[in-house]
Amino acid sequence: MNHQLISIVCPFFNEQEMVSIFINEIYKILNQTHKSFEIVCVNDGSTDSTLEQLLLEKKKRKEIKIVNLSRNFGKEAALTAGLDSSKGDVIIPIDADLQDPPELMLRFLEYWEKGYEVVLAKRNDRSSDSLSKRITAKMFYKVHNIISTTKVPENVGDYRLITRKVLQSLQKLPESQRFMKGLFAWVGYKTAIVEYRRDERKAGCTKFNGWKLWNFALDGITSFSTILLSFWLYLGAAIASVAFIYGSFIVIKTLVLGVDVPGYASLLTIILFMGGIQIIGIGVLGEYIGRLYIESKGRPIYIIDEIL
Ligand code: UDP
Ligand code: MG
């Protein structure tokens, strides 16, 4: 299998401290495999010296390919750009911060040689993440997997090995809102799971704040489930039934006992409650319609400035 090519795909967004550490580490590991490889580095519109650092590395080493995007498109789009530009028989997406240990690639490759098309890396320990990130991540996987038909394996990131066959299937999914974990899960194939411990970032800082993560979670859920849309039908039906029963009760009571004026508090409470419920319903509709709107424009997922 020595003539086969391994592609490492890595998105870089303001990772100047990481470039040379990352490249050195990858070379150290991949040289042990005696296979040929390429490293596809996507510069996702970095505003620091990431691109210059990448160019310096490229001068020293012929395996490096730089895909320079025209601006910051976000991690999912950058990863897609890298995957589309990769030439390998197997492709390994990895983050630049080395939170996912590159040594694991050797085990990925063993599984691949055993005939697996996908090898996932599963974090069995997230103690390097903050408590709030761990709790929200756990909630996300729970909710997502209850309401979506495509189950996303828990604590599995984008770090994995896929064969070209899997990549070609992935490329048939045209959506512009790319929740990669979900898309990877959707295409299927014979999958192995390797467990590992997630480290702290080696340098630099996370590019995801709470708001970005919230929207990322919404992308995931809206991409793979429409349950939140159907939910309102059942909630509406339930409330209408209760209202009907209560209404009948009031009518009968009035007929039997005569007119009874008090009731201002309960009336106001019900009106406000129903108002709130309706606005939430409209909000959920809005989330889907907004995504539909963006999708309907059919804009490209990313724009490449140049490939170096
Ligand atoms: N990244 C990117 N574009 C962005 C944000 C992040 O290409 O808009 C890259 C980043 O450089 C890193 C990877 O995505 O290689 C993961 O980012 P980060 O480590 O900040 O995410 P976290 O591990 O905190 O979820
Ligand atoms: Mg990270």
Cα–Cα distance list, 233 to 43, 87, 144 (Å): 45, 48, 20
Q: 98 C-alpha to center of ligand 2: Å? A: 7
Distance between Cα 121 and ligand 2 center (Å): 14
Nearest ligand (C-alpha, residue 206): 1
Predicted pLDDT of residue 246: 85
Quick one: pLDDT at residue 283?
Answer: 81
What is the structure's pLDDT at 274?
82
Task: Judge if the beta carbon of residue 96 lies within 6 A of ligand 1.
Answer: yes
Query: Which residue has a Cα nearest atom 21 of ligand 1?
Result: 206
Looking at residue 168, what is its pLDDT?
Answer: 93
Ligand closest to the CA atom of residue 208: 1
Q: Rounded to two decimals, what is the model's pTM? A: 0.77
Tell me how far the alpha carbon of residue 76 lies from the centroid of ligand 1, in angstroms.
9
Task: Kindly provide the b/e burial profile for residues 97-119, where b requires at least 16 CB atoms within 10 angstroms of the residue's own CB.
Answer: bbbbbbebbebbbebbeeebbbb
Token pair 């990772």 in the structure block, residue? 15
Distances (CA, A) of 73 to 2, 68, 243: 35, 11, 48
HSE-CB of 148 using CA atoms within 13 angstroms: 23
Q: What is d(CA 251, CA 253) in angstroms, rounded to the nearest whole number?
A: 5
Residue 74 beta carbon below 6 angstroms from any ligand 1 atom: yes
Ligand 1 pocket check for 17: Cβ under 6 Å: no
Q: Find the 99 Cα to ligand 2 centroid distance in Å.
A: 6
User: 156 has which bridge partners?
Assistant: 122
Residues 33 and 4: their CA atoms lie apart, in Å, by 11
Tokens 């939910």 — which residue? 231
Identity of residue 296: S
Question: Token pair of 150, please?
Answer: 């495509």
- The pLDDT value given to residue 2: 57
Is residue 144 within 6 Å of ligand 1 at its C-beta?
Answer: no
- Going residue by residue through the chain (308 aa), what tens digit of pLDDT does each one get? 558 899 999 999 999 888 999 999 999 999 888 889 999 999 999 999 999 989 998 999 989 999 999 999 999 899 999 999 999 999 999 999 888 889 899 999 999 999 999 998 888 877 777 888 888 888 888 888 888 888 888 888 889 999 999 999 999 988 888 888 888 888 889 889 888 877 777 777 777 777 888 888 888 888 888 788 878 878 888 888 888 888 888 888 888 888 767 777 778 778 878 887 788 888 888 888 888 888 888 889 899 999 88
Instruction: Give, using CA atoms, the residue closest to atom 14 of ligand 1.
Output: 75
Which among 18, 97, 134, 201 is the best mutation to test ligand 1's pocket, defined by most ligand atoms within 8 Å of the CB?
97
CA of 125 to the centre of ligand 2 (A): 15
Ligand nearest the Cα atom of residue 212: 1
b vs e for 43-56, b when ≥16 Cβ sit within 10 Å of the residue's Cβ? Answer: bbbbeeebbebbbe
